[in-house]
Amino acid sequence: MKVIETYLGDCQLLEPAVFADERGNFFESFNEEKFNTLVGKEVRFVQDNQSLSTYGVLRGLHFQRGEHAQAKLVRVLRGEVIDVAVDLRPDSPSFGKHFSVVLSAENRLQLFIPRGFAHGFAVLSREAEFFYKCDNYYNKESEGSLLYSDPELGIDWGIDPAELIVSAKDRESPLFAQARAVIRGAR
């Protein structure tokens, strides 16, 4: 597996070594010891989540605050998504900036999103099965979100906005400028 650095500091892409032959292919999708060495920190994942969504579904931008903050290792098992991480660390040089990447079953890329980031994805294929590991348990009282269409963030979701399928809760998320006070507690 190799690490591809992003301009968001600790947010990193991971590309597995894939071994293919006439039977198909094999790759190691996760190995705690190798992962921790590659990302340069000790991360212990405690929860796995999986979702199935259709074309145009956008989930995000979500984060957990304070002691319930979560680092995530995300990947796509089937289909294709555009995956987005937004840096919410106030002391970071990339605070308020985002990184996006296409994750697919075909490219097998994984994105490591450390604590202190908001996360979201939009489905580009007919369907997508999305899988992620979290290093902390979900806590409803600590959840936060940012408006996916905030012009200040300027995220291109790769889909005509009229075709996006977004939950009422996500459509009502605050703008980045309105959420700054909440975000300061997102670490």
Residues tagged active-site? 62, 132
- CB of 155 closer than 8 Å to CB of 98: yes
**What residues pair up with 72 in beta bridges, in sequence order?**
113, 134
Max Cα-Cα span within the chain: 55
Neighbours of 73 (CB within 10 A): 22
Closest CA to 130 of 30, 55, 50: 50
Q: What is the H or E stretch that residue 13 is in? A: strand 12-15
> Whole-angstrom Cα distance, residue 136 to residue 116?
13
- How far, CA to CA in Å, does 176 sit from each of 73, 115, 128, 151, 156? 24, 17, 28, 9, 16
